[in-house]
Amino acid sequence: MSSDIERLIQQLAKLPGLGPRSARRAALHMLKRRETLMLPLVQAMTAAAEHVLVCAECGNLDTKSPCAICADPARDPAALCVIEDVSDLWALERTSFFKGRYHVLGGTLSALDGVGPDELRIPQLIARVHASQVREVILALSFTVDGQTTAHYIADRLAGSGVGVTGIAHGVPLGGELDYIDEATLVTALKARRDLG
C-alpha cells in the first residue's frame, strides 16, 4: 500500500468510532469519490478549522464570540443550563424546549483524572452567575459519580447567592420497559416517585 494511503488510513483511524477496518473502508470510499466527497470534506474541515472558535461567555463552539445563543436577545437571560460538553448543548438544542442560555463546563470533576474546578469552566460559571441576571442554574450533568459530584460542588459554591439551583430529573426514560432498566435507575425512579392523586 502506498504511504499516502497508509497515512490517510492512520489519520482516519484516530477519529472516534473508526477502527482500523472502518478507517480503511472510509479511505477507499473517499478515494473513489474525490470530487463529490473527499474534496468537499477537506473544504468543510478547513473552513471549520479556520472559523470556529470557543465562545468566551459560555464555552460553546461558533464562528463568533459571544456565540449565537449568548447574543440572542430572545433567549431568557434568567435561566442558565450547565452542561459538560458542546455535544450536550447540541442535544438540548435539538429538543427546541429550553429557551435560556448555556454554560459548557468542558467535563466533570474527577479525582482519578486530576480534574479540579480550575480545569473546568467553573470559576467562570460562578463569576457569570454573580455578574448577570441569572435566577436559576439548571444542572444537566451526567448521572454518574463524577457528574453528580460536580453538580453537588457547583450547588455548594452557589449556596447563599440567592440564585435557584436545580438538577434535571433522573428516572426511567421514555419508552423504557422496566424489565430492561438497570436496578440503580429503578431505585432512583422509586425514590423520586411523585404523587399522582
Output the CA–CA distances (angstroms, integers) from residue 31 to 11, 28, 34, 60, in the order listed.
14, 5, 5, 33
Per rule CB under 8 A, is residue 10 in the interface with its own copies?
A: yes
Choosing from 22, 65, 142, 185, the residue that interacts with its own copies (CB under 8 A) is 22
Tell me: does residue 128 bind its own copies (CB under 8 A).
no
Total chain residues near its own copies (CB under 8 A): 48
144 binding its own copies? (CB under 8 A) = no
Q: Which residue(s) pair with 110 in the sheet?
A: 115
DSSP 8-state class, residue 196: -
Residue 62 engages its own copies in binding (rule: CB under 8 A) = yes
- The two beta strands, 61-62 and 53-54, are antiparallel
The residue range among 59-67, 132-140, 173-181, 184-192 that interacts with its own copies, by the rule CB under 8 A, is 59-67
| Residue with smaller CB distance to its own copies, 15 or 190 | 15
> How far apart are CB 120 and its own copies at their closest, in Å?
14
Q: Is 119 in the site for its own copies (CB under 8 A)?
A: no
- Kindly state whether residue 166 participates in binding its own copies, applying the rule CB under 8 A: no
| Residues 71, 74, 77: CA angle, nearest 5 degrees | 70
Please give the C-alpha separations between residue 114 and each of 53, 110, 119, in angstroms, as whole numbers. 26, 6, 9
Q: Which residue has the cell 431568557?
A: 76
Task: Give yes or no for residue 25 binding its own copies (CB under 8 A).
Answer: yes
Nearest to residue 164, comparing CAs of 194, 139, 186, 196?
139
What count of other Cβ atoms lies within 10 Å of the Cβ of residue 175? Answer: 6
Residues that bind its own copies (CB under 8 A): 1-5, 7-8, 10-12, 14-18, 22, 24-31, 34, 37-42, 44-49, 51-52, 61-63, 68, 85-87, 90, 93
